Amino acid sequence: MSTSLLSSKAPQYLRLHLADAIGPVMLGRLIKHFGTVDAILGASMGALMEVEGIGERRARSVFEARTDAAVERELAKAAAAGVRIICWEDPDYPPQLRHCSDPPVCLYVRGTLTPEDAVAIAVVGSRKCSRYGYEQAQRFGALLAGAGFTVVSGLARGVDGYAHEGALSAGGRTVAVLGSGVDVIYPPEHKDLAEKVTARGAILSEDPLGSPPSTESFPRRNRIIAGMCLGVLVVEANKRSGALITARLASEYNREVFAIPGRVDTATAFGPNDLIRKGAAKLVACLDDILDELGAVGKTMGRPAGAPDAPGGLFGGGVAAALSPSERTILDTLADEEVYVDEIVARCGFATAQTISCLTTLQLKGAVVALPGNRFVRRRE
């Protein structure tokens, strides 16, 4: 059996991972009962039946998971897809995740995991986010990555994708956790983004290769996102958003939960606003709101050029020095009143495309606030 994509312990775990109906909770019971994965695979049917809640079907599934055939088939797929398979005992298994109550038995990895990924923040939210939502997802993806955090999300449409893009724009690391096999990118229009994430971090999944996305797989995916991070930032989420599942799981795992407030008359603002109202999440307006909550870890993380120190002190932390001449010109034309893009173009004399590009950068640096209807305003000092 080829082991180039597996550590010495991973084949045994992979056998159990591929066994029918043996999930992380049941594996935890098996290990508690038998002590080691080798002992599990060497147990008789009678001994397996003594495990709490296993039942005959699952006991037989474990009993029959002793041949190399299923592992060989999965390894052949992994080799073709450039995927590595890691287990609980591997050193690059995400350390935060290992200590959860229901960690994945195995993880499929495209790209690389590094020790620095232990200092991660998840950014999650609505697939149908507003313009405000995607701006904040990009902004905080960039700010967190620039400060040295690995940005974790789910590669979904909306907030997830924009958070990955923000992290990439800052030259930072980002990890995408899928609700499908890592060789089945969903949504399909994020294939290019997936390749960029792989180059700057990793794509992960516990689902076997070739697994399509399903309704059941996304909540499982969300627990991985919550479990491998120090905290979860909810950008936008309606009442039924999976982002709220991620926030709840983060709380259960004793992770920090953060939320960006939204307009009270917007459906996608319900989730973060409700979390804040119930005291289940800390209101976040700037990077420092996250750093302060993380205690010693937050104090040791660097700040990207232009990151605000507080909502009212944006221009005291080096923002002015970080602006290009074009950005400074545009910022100087803005005051406290709202200004349409066309008026900014007229005032500055720049091309429309250049103006929009500069405004986007100014938003990421926290100097400008975008409003509905292509209006912008300078954030008050």
- Write down the residue that tokens 């954030």 correspond to: 379
pLDDT of residue 309: 41
Summarize pLDDT for 295-337 with one digit per residue, the tens.
Answer: 878 877 855 444 444 333 333 344 444 677 888 888 888 876 7
Residue, of 280 and 320, whose pLDDT is higher: 280
H or E segment and range at residue 290: helix 287-293
Q: Collect contacts of 264-270 with beta carbons under 8 A, ≥24 apart.
A: 266/130, 266/236, 267/238, 267/239, 268/125, 268/126, 268/128, 268/129, 268/130, 268/133, 268/236, 268/237, 268/238, 268/241, 269/236, 270/237, 270/238, 270/239
- Write down the residue that tokens 């209006």 correspond to: 375
Q: Which two tokens stand for residue 103?
A: 């960690």
Summarize pLDDT for 48-75 with one digit per residue, the tens.
Answer: 999 988 988 888 888 887 777 888 888 8
Q: How far apart are CA 185 and CA 179, in angstroms?
A: 9
* CATH class for the domain made up of 314-378: mainly alpha
Give the CATH architecture of domain 10-76. Orthogonal Bundle (1.10)
The answer as to CATH 3.30.1360.120 being correct for domain 115-300 is no
Whole-number Cα distances in Å, 132 to 273, 289, 354: 14, 19, 21
CATH 1.10.150.20 domain span(s) along the chain? 10-76
**Which candidate, 255, 256, 283, 257, places its Cα nearest to that of 269?**
283
Q: How far apart are CA 103 and CA 371, in angstroms?
A: 41
Summarize pLDDT for 335-361 with one digit per residue, the tens.
Answer: 767 788 888 888 888 877 677 767 777
Residue, of 30 and 9, whose pLDDT is higher: 30
Q: Is the pTM of this model over 0.85?
A: no
pLDDT at 371 over 70: no
Helices 191-200 and 159-169: crossing angle in degrees, nearest 10, is: 40
CATH 3.40.50.450 domain span(s) along the chain? 115-300
CATH 1.10.10.10 domain span(s) along the chain? 314-378
Helices 159-169 and 131-146: crossing angle in degrees, nearest 10, is: 40
